[in-house]
Structure 1
Amino acid sequence: MGPMELNSSHVSPVLTESVAVNKSRLGIHSSLLPYSQQDSSSPLSPAAGKLSRTGSRKSAAGNIDDVRFNGWLDAMKASSPPRKKILKGSVINTLLPSSNIEYDNNEDYHSLTVDYPSAIECFGNIIGRAKNKRVAVFLDYDGTLSPIVDDPDCAFMSDPMRETVGSVGRCFPTAIISGRSRDNVYDLVKLTELYYAGSHGMDIIGPPLRHNNNDVSTNNLPNCVNSTDHQGNQITLFQPATQFLPIIDEVFRTLVEITKDIRGAKVENHKFCVSVHYRNVEENNWTIIGQRVHDVLKNYPGLRSTHGRKVLEIRPVIDWNKGKAVLFLLESLDLNDKDDVFPIYIGDDKTDEDAFKILRESNRGCGILVSSVMKESSASYSLRDPNQVMEFLQLLLNWNHKRETKHFNKQIKVKV
């Protein structure tokens, strides 16, 4: 489907002030090319940029030693912490009426806070750094705004969470950056106050690109299209991997076919990536599902696999991720001055690490990891679960209200 699918009623960005994206800074020209079109000396480059499949299709069964040798099985286990009992009386039950929610005890989370202090307990420190700055908020969806559940189609936000996130979107520039398709995550969130980036940032809808108050021709910006939505709002659609769409669709159909005999396996097409869920697959079959995905990817060197929470993500081999999506949105919103802007990124998945890393390396804002178990992260702080995410966002709203009230009172005194 072409970029002009933009004319759906799904997204209605509120902010309109923006500037042109600095292409060289974001690497839109060279770094968005498949690796084989860049430096051929890169270990990832041999034939990696070919968009069509190569060679004949091999047996889906494959050799399970491939998965073990390449560390896939270890990665699948590492990204799939065991389910523990929900705390008795926990308000997590108010988020989703299901017993299939992953949640861990206070002792596990306490171990995590040794390296990644609670963002709630350290709220004063965080806001101290944000003083006199413009705050921008970036949120993952699954595991951050909604609990992790067995069926991805049932990962619903609670009404209180939706109300809270909507209020945040009215106070600060706010974006959801998810591995889901852009349309899918909007259907779950249903808030027009926000910006949306689907497929791990490979499908972004944001404000119109401008420069010195003059419109910039998107003809000079690869994969960018200026348009309007059904409500008449000016918007820009950025899709750096459009050339991969036919390949993604083909791989999706193949993976559906070769995993249909594995009980509990689920394959989803998120437009610019494919998710293979093994959350409901018996652990002794993880090697089989991993090997079958591995064998399919041998025929598509332009694609790669990454590991999430009990999911394999099949993505194009381009130099683009959630971190660069954050930079794109910040520049589009004229929020790229690190001395004046304080971005906050909250996420729970390995794919969120790219955003945490960019914020840490640029010494701007803060990354907040959502987890109840110990793990390595580039985040600075942590929250245990979606309930604590909502509590943190409410603290942020209260702080902003006090700040605006204080500013208003100062203006009244000056006028008097």
Structure 2
Amino acid sequence: MEHGIDRLLEIVKPGMLCAFDFDGTIAPIVDDPAAARIPPPVLRRLAALAEFTPVAIITGRSVEDVSLRLDFFPEFVVGNHGMEGLPGYEQREEHYRSMCSEWLRELHNAMKVESIDAAAWIEDKTYSLSIHYRQAQDPLATEGKLRQLIQATVPDAKIVEGKFVFNILPSDAPHKGQALKLLREHAGASGALYIGDDVTDESVFSLPHDDLLTIRIEDNASTAAEFYLQDMQAMLPFLDMLLKRLIEMLRAEAVTRASAISETKPT
């Protein structure tokens, strides 16, 4: 990220959209997804950032789930990898809800029939499903069995593999990249920044970088992200730098406006 300071200064300006993934980005990944929390130092900085510019959380979790973990009010909270919470997508959400309800029943039955490791479980996110197998006795073998089972049971679904998880989405569902583009239009943001950590974030990382700064947590040879942070610990100094730059620009704008007003007053 050291070589990206100039790009940061180029993109960052008041009114830009600052968007973040949740797990592995602003909250550490944990064995039990229900136990995930944003560390207080990160939370304080995100809350401060939201005071100066639009902030979005774009996550694989449901909107309800992630909203309970934020303790501040971002401009946008988009869940289910871009399917839930997008302005104007309410009718599509109902279609996805019905589809995933049927898939849930089918996958539960198939996992019983195939005797999948009992530690593998399905998370019902209403508009999408996630099958977690992090705690399986043999994660690699369980991964292979689950991949075959999912392809055979819900062949029309879109499968996005994550870290010890299969995310199962309707094939026509918007992805995180489409969600970010729509949110930028809705917010009227000329520029944007996005930070994520997983393959599910690549749809954002692969967008044109002209007015978008993309950052991955931890480097990866196959990522399309423009820059990377060494690990989640690097998030704190990055957010501090981001806040400092925004405050400097807002102060400069205030001085310019005050000067312009002073010059127009009659002497």
TM-score normalised by the chain length of structure 2: 0.87
CA RMSD of aligned residues (A): 2.4
User: Does residue 246 of the first structure (1) align with residue 98 of the second (2)?
Assistant: yes
* Greater share of helix: 2
User: Does residue 277 of the first structure (1) align with residue 124 of the second (2)?
Assistant: no
Q: Percent identity?
A: 24
- Given that residues 14 and 246 in structure 2 are in contact (C-alpha distance below 8 angstroms), is that contact kept between their aligned partners in structure 1? no
- List aligned pairs for 1:372-387, cutoff 5 A: 373-387=219-233
Q: Which residue of 1 aligns with 2:117?
A: 262
- Cα deviation for residue 409 of structure 1 reads 2.6
| Larger RCO (alpha carbons 8 Å, 6+ apart) | 1
Match of 1:313 among 164, 167, 181: 167
Q: Which residue of 1 aligns with 2:85?
A: 204
Q: Distance in 2 between matches of 1:411 and 1:352?
A: 39
Letter matched to residue 295 of structure 1: L
- Given that residues 120 and 135 in structure 2 are in contact (C-alpha distance below 8 angstroms), is that contact kept between their aligned partners in structure 1? yes
The alignment covers a number of residue pairs equal to 259
Q: Which residue of 2 aligns with 1:182?
A: 63
My pick for the range that moved more, 380-389 or 247-256, is 247-256
Rate the CA distance shift 1:123–1:249 in 2: closer, same or farther, 3 A: same
User: Does residue 162 of the first structure (1) align with residue 62 of the second (2)?
Assistant: no
- Given that residues 252 and 268 in structure 1 are in contact (C-alpha distance below 8 angstroms), is that contact kept between their aligned partners in structure 2? no
- Given that residues 255 and 293 in structure 1 are in contact (C-alpha distance below 8 angstroms), is that contact kept between their aligned partners in structure 2? no
- Larger Cα-atom Rg: 1
Unaligned runs of 5+ in 1: 1-117, 207-223, 225-236, 336-340
- Cα deviation for residue 134 of structure 1 reads 3.8
Match of 2:241 among 376, 385, 395: 395
Q: Distance in 1 between matches of 2:259 and 2:211?
A: 34
- List aligned pairs for 1:120-135, cutoff 5 A: 121-122=2-3, 124-130=5-11, 134-135=15-16
- Cα deviation for residue 131 of structure 1 reads 6.0
User: Does residue 150 of the first structure (1) align with residue 57 of the second (2)?
Assistant: no
Q: Which residue of 2 aligns with 1:136?
A: 17
Rate the CA distance shift 1:407–1:252 in 2: closer, same or farther, 3 A: same
Q: Which residue of 1 aligns with 2:182?
A: 328
- Kindly provide the CA deviation profile for residues 319-346 of structure 1, in whole angstroms up to 9, marking residues without a partner as x: 62100001111111223xxxxx221010
- Given that residues 83 and 174 in structure 2 are in contact (C-alpha distance below 8 angstroms), is that contact kept between their aligned partners in structure 1? yes
- Cα deviation for residue 132 of structure 1 reads 5.8
